[in-house]
Chain A
């Protein structure tokens, strides 16, 4: 499988990263080089193999289903580039 210029533009849009026309050709080359290399995995027979989804096979300890934190709006907003009146702000989304 390989990516073309249109695919690179589409995944950049999905990833919300602005790219210029000049960025596209080198990205097509680099991503294809990496994808060609990871395609080696198609040699491996994985029929019926369960996916490993976590770094450990041990069972996690369950915690009590209690509310332990909250009421930290000031702390949470402290690092926002633009917070006003207890809210994050964004550019206008509704006309």
Chain B
């Protein structure tokens, strides 16, 4: 008999609808799986009592005939979303003990749709990282290991707890947030699906801010259909987020079967970066063939400013972060480290409360915003951002979707890149451009590397055209037939 935790969201929805299992049974199965997967370190906080209580309420609603889009579905929530009455840390020491008295809009929407909260997943501290190694709560281990090796690999980041939990079946689906690739890159490294919606599609209210002009929440799931189901529940206008856009939420699941016949897919030559492994090139070509075989037209497109995207991002994101993280001052929440006077208290609190990468980015951000450097760095980067967005606009005049690899390499070893920040930053080379342009992007597992590790393909779409992105992703998923699962070495 297969385990209840083997059911993805769509299958669990069916099992719950037919009465094959209850939300309480399903939730118990996940809590047991989480308990047996401590070696992965995917969750910062597990909430058995709350989860069972929510599951029982869901079962009661179902008996009363009220069935939401995610009724009874157990989810992991990235610890960047504020959850009422539940410890919320952003994986930072500086938020020790922080227990919000309010619920983020995205998680509120999920609970309103009937979902169950299993716990809060780990992440890079304040979402700054591509490997989940900057978490105050220690690195998360990727459920996948290279063939014949037991070396621990990173699950990607910053939503690495969510990606590991989805890949290891420690939740039916999870939330992530993406500022420069933090949903898509960890999805690629764990053989899961990660969708970053258009900027403004999901409310940022109650999501701890990193870089406010880039941050966007999205689903991390085992399948494209599950991503469509979850996005439908997460998205929507919210008066509490001034950048939330008031546009209807379509039926994303209904869009899946549309197929790619008649669509034109763009392949940007600029993404063929130096030193890219042949197996990534090969997968990209396979992706093109898969879409062509299903009736799509494929053409080459130019995105000439691509190579400036990462430097632009590493000015804008730290600048916004230095401003957003000014609020952690030892006065209003979390850690306070005493000092001789108020300034010393601020400085000591922030020195001990923030980790190395967060401090590095705050310092860079403070520098590029400081008097005399603002125009040369910050304004310049905002102007280049305009040009990068224009490149996409021009490309989307002749194509419906853009196909690229998600990440330049498969999962790497824990500790392999921590010594050199720039090497780590390069992991987001394919995901950052769409973030700067505010466009939706999805990562779909395409195959395995020679070492037996998952590789992802990315589709980027027009603003607020998640339906076409999901149609394309569904076609890729069907053609790729990716069914590989990691060997459950972590099971206690």
Q: What residues make up the interface of A, taking CB atoms closer than 8 Å to B?
A: 1, 3, 7-8, 11-12, 14-19, 27, 30-31, 33-35, 37-42, 44, 46, 49-58, 60-61, 63, 72, 75-76, 78-82, 88-93
Contact = CB atoms under 8 A, between A and B. Distances in A.
A11 B421 contact: no
A8 B362 CA distance: 12
Contact of B380 (A41, A54, A90, A92): A41
Given A8-B363, A46-B387, A56-B438, A18 B350 contact: yes
A18 B373 contact: no
Q: Which among A14, A19, A53, A82 has the greatest number of chain B C-beta atoms within 10 A? A: A14
Interface stretch (B56-64, B186-194, B334-342): B334-342
19 contacts: A3-B367, A17-B350, A30-B360, A34-B364, A37-B311, A38-B381, A39-B311, A40-B311, A42-B380, A49-B387, A50-B383, A54-B243, A58-B200, A58-B247, A60-B244, A78-B99, A79-B334, A91-B341, A91-B344
B245 A44 contact: no
A53 B213 contact: yes
A79 B85 CA distance: 11
Given A16-B343, A50-B386, A93-B342, A11 B331 contact: no
Nearest to A88: B331
B331 A90 contact: yes
A65 B444 CA distance: 43
A81 B422 contact: no
A46 B380 contact: yes
B122 interface: no
B112 to A, nearest CB: 19
Interface in B417-476: 421-422, 436, 438, 463
Nearest to B346: A16
A17 B322 CA distance: 11
Q: Which among A8, A17, A18, A91 has the greatest number of chain B C-beta atoms within 10 A? A: A17
A46 B362 contact: no
A1 B373 contact: yes
Given A30-B360, A79-B98, A82-B336, A52 B200 contact: no
A51 B380 CA distance: 8
A51 B360 contact: no
B243 A60 contact: yes
B312 interface: yes
Contact of B333 (A18, A56, A63, A80): A80
Nearest to A43: B308
Contacts of A11: 363, 366-367, 370
A61 B385 CA distance: 24
A9 to B, nearest CB: 11
A16 B347 contact: yes
Contacts of B348: 18
Given A46-B384, A50-B383, A79 B200 contact: no
Nearest to A93: B342
Given A44-B308, A44-B387, A19 B342 contact: no
Contacts, number: 174
Contacts of A51: 379, 382-383, 385-386
A26 B376 CA distance: 24
Nearest to A39: B311
Contact of A56 (B245, B305, B342, B383): B245
Interface string B189-206: 000000000111000000
Interface in B166-224: 198-200, 213-214, 216
Given A52-B385, A61-B237, A81 B336 contact: yes
Nearest to B369: A14
A27 B130 CA distance: 21
Given A34-B364, A52-B385, A91 B239 contact: no
Given A3-B367, A33-B422, A41-B312, A79 B97 contact: yes
Given A19-B351, A56-B198, A49 B242 contact: no
A50 B379 CA distance: 9
Contact of A91 (B247, B342, B386): B342
Given A12-B363, A15-B362, A90 B246 contact: no
Given A40-B307, A51-B382, 19 more contacts: A1-B376, A7-B367, A11-B363, A15-B362, A34-B364, A37-B422, A38-B311, A40-B308, A46-B383, A46-B384, A49-B383, A50-B386, A51-B385, A52-B385, A60-B243, A60-B245, A81-B336, A90-B331, A90-B345
A91 B347 CA distance: 13
B324 to A, nearest CB: 12
A42 B332 CA distance: 40
Contacts of A41: 308, 311-312, 315, 380-381, 384
A52 B393 CA distance: 14
A72 to B, nearest CB: 8
A15 B99 contact: no
Contacts of B330: 81
A38 B245 CA distance: 32
B386 A78 contact: no
Interface in B82-102: 97-102
Contacts of A3: 367
What are the 3 tightest A-B residue pairs by CB atom distance, in nearest-first order? Answer: A55-B199, A51-B382, A81-B336
